[in-house]
Amino acid sequence: MADREYTRCLIIGSGPAGYTAAIYAGRANLQPIEYCGLQIGGQLTTTTIVENFPGYPQGVDGNQMMMDLRSQATNFGVDIRDGVITKVDFSKKPYVATTDRGAEIEAESIIIATGATAKYLGLDDEKKYMGQGVSACATCDGFFYRKKVVAVVGGGDTACEEANYLAGLASKVYMIVRKPYLRASEVMKKRVEENEKIEILYETNTLGLFGDNGVEGAHVVYRKGESDEKKYDIAIDGFFLAIGHKPQTDIFKGSMDMDEQGFIKVNGINQKTNIDGVFAAGDVCDPHYQQAIIAAATGAKAALDAQEYLNQIGK
């Protein structure tokens, strides 16, 4: 078939995991092809300054860091393409991936680094204030809110962890919880309930955000739709979403082992999936940490795993 290409290693996705996998695969002379996906550079391109990635003592713009990683991968001969893989046939080897333009690529090994996206409430104001007070990562951005007032949306373990983390930096933390209780584990509930810096607003929904120079407050409603419904405003400097992440694994569903949320299951010792020669890296297989440095590390591991696999099969 004229449009069908062949590669020893196909990398699906960019961001810290995809680009680091590309750097390692390129240096190993695997001559990889990388498709960057819809969000070129991944979630870090939606942030401003990244301060917790080693090697940048003054911090670095998220977009700049991804451009640096991309440039480094290109220097090692990686064929980086701005396109989307829409389907992969794992029924026979080499595997066949199809792009959004209908082209087909035969691949002896595949590294999946499609990432995960934070879940949002769907408010227009979330987009309006993104990077100006709205964040989906307390570990990434909490440092900017030292001695300020912030709000965390969510009532599960993640929300409690984020609230506790932020309480160590901010002067006050509101937890906006839709239900009349926390869904978190007992130990996490106890931690937030006993933290004097955290105020839990039960049965409360966010209606919108406001502010002239970034987020200055939130419009909220208590017991929405009930007879005792009450609307009011809270003054905040930061608004953190902690209602979960959605892994970008739809095209792989039914083809490989995933957990109930859709995160790809890996070996644990390495980045192997249950499919021979297919590896996963970054947030797509990490429902817990979701940090750039960890994504980069798993990208390196996946490339080393792919190299070992190709050596074993003599390709």
Residues involved in catalysis: 137, 140-141
From 97, 110, 100, select the one nearest 5 (Cα to Cα): 97
Question: Which sign, positive or negative, has the C-alpha torsion 143, 144, 145, 150?
Answer: negative
Task: Please state the separation of Cα 270 from the chain's center in Å.
Answer: 20
The angle formed by the CA atoms of residues 20, 21 and 23, to the nearest 5 degrees, is: 60
* H/E segment holding residue 60: strand 60-61
Structure tokens at 93: 């080897």
Helix axes 292-313, 15-27, angle to 10 degrees: 40
Structure tokens at 132: 């100006």
